A and B are shown apart, each in its own frame.
Chain A
């Protein structure tokens, strides 16, 4: 992450960014020197502090905080889910590649939690806090075997990952004013899509449920085989992109829906996540 580039980008939409950040250009140069040496892990903190000083309570800061806390909620939802799955004896087939895959995904979700917490704190805001006990992964009884039946666990995992992809996608436009935060969100977004791709492959395997028709990408509206998660896939059968009907270009309906993932609004995602929060 190049902090100088980020500032130059902000300057395009806010010509006074340097003045906002610090009226003394010399001091900013010091910051650049600091920025070039700072560890990658500390960048979100440094960024957050800068924006706090620069924008204080303006609407930009509030919107960004709202998006980041929304994202943090989803990351907690995912992290505790995989943590509990990994910790439940007999759920994930021992000695199979699934163990490593679930651990990898869990570790990414935990890293996202930590990154978002740091960024929100850096903004001078309070990160939302969740404990494992605040989540009900049966979705109030809809998935009673989520931690005792491996295919059910994977089915819920797929719903979480595809929801995550759609949630970040839906918020990108709200981060246009903060390029560094936008890029970070996009870098999380594609990781969630990689997870979704792999979980879908796991569900195709016999042990994972043998959902043979499933693909790593989303075909039409709700290809999961789980009607209870219809809201996760609402609108994924869209064929029109930027005013162009993709089927009119000579592509099948399936390919046209698979080639483009669709966003969900914050309200739609909160409604889905809410099913899993006590």
Chain B
């Protein structure tokens, strides 16, 4: 049972140093956050020298609770990089209220990412490289449409991962984050179509939000992530 978030003895067998050794730092995409003057936020840092699609290759999330936390860290990295890019390069005629709301969301996602990074410490996976080539950042529809996908996906990911967590402390932390993601999801949906905050696309007849397994979530997220993610050691 893990009682502390930061406990070096719990390093899983796949040490991140070993992983890092197989990576070569090649490119950095740096997004300077407007609300975080002077802090350069690394959205993507490491690129695999040789991409392999073999099973067992890629960035290993690890096992047990640490694996689930790294899974959450991976998703938060994706969201943070996305919103950093949105604020870096706002779509045409972004209204002031939308800029304020999206800047808030960016800050929340960056806070989630940096929290997981700090909490996981030496057990954290490296920075992932994102692939936003399918997103048109100058188009409101493209940006908000992608935000909707990411937020609904994030909610379903935490909802599905909760039962895989063994520690009460980690479960509570996941709970503290998922409801903020749900607040984001509802807002983004309302920006696209007022009143769609909890429509039948996401809420079933029992009044339940979606829950997805890590495999389902990563399959959906992988097209936005260049780095191969290996979730084979995650609890299921």
Contact = CB atoms under 8 A, between A and B. Distances in A.
A93 to B, nearest CB: 14
B165 to A, nearest CB: 8
Interface string A13-45: 000000000000000000000000000110010
Q: Of B112, B166, B171, B181, which is in contact with the most chain A CB atoms at under 10 Å from its CB?
A: B171
Contact of A191 (B190, B208, B236): B208
B173 to A, nearest CB: 6
Interface string B102-139: 00100110111011001100000000000000000000
A241 B69 CA distance: 14
A196 interface: yes
A40 B207 contact: no
Interface residues of B, number: 62
Interface size class of A (residues with CB under 8 A): 35 or more
Nearest to A219: B104
A110 to B, nearest CB: 8
Contact of A249 (B118, B175, B205): B118
A256 interface: yes
* Central interface residue in B101, B171, B198, B210, by most chain A CB within 10 Å: B198
A169 B175 contact: yes
B185 interface: yes
A29 B118 CA distance: 45
Given A108-B198, A251-B107, A255-B104, A179 B177 contact: no
Nearest to A109: B207
A227 interface: no
Contacts of B206: 40-41, 44, 111-112, 114-115
A169 B121 CA distance: 26
B207 A193 contact: no
Interface string B131-167: 0000000000000000000000001001110111110
A179 B171 CA distance: 12
B205 A189 contact: no
Interface string B18-36: 0000000000000000011
A194 B111 contact: no
Nearest to B69: A242
A198 B35 contact: no
Given A258-B104, A259-B111, A259-B112, A242 B173 contact: yes
B182 A259 contact: no
Interface stretch (A51-59, A83-91, A144-152, A260-268): A260-268
Contact of A261 (B35, B171, B176, B235): B176
A186 B178 contact: yes
Nearest to B197: A198
A216 B180 CA distance: 9
A251 B198 contact: no
Interface of B: 4-6, 35-36, 39, 101, 104, 107-108, 110-112, 114-115, 118-119, 155, 158-160, 162-166, 168-169, 171-173, 175-187, 190, 194-195, 197-199, 202-211, 235-236
14 contacts: A110-B207, A115-B206, A183-B211, A186-B178, A198-B186, A241-B173, A241-B176, A243-B4, A244-B119, A249-B118, A251-B107, A258-B107, A259-B111, A261-B175
Given A8-B236, A215-B104, 8 more contacts: A40-B205, A193-B182, A194-B197, A194-B202, A215-B101, A217-B104, A244-B5, A260-B177
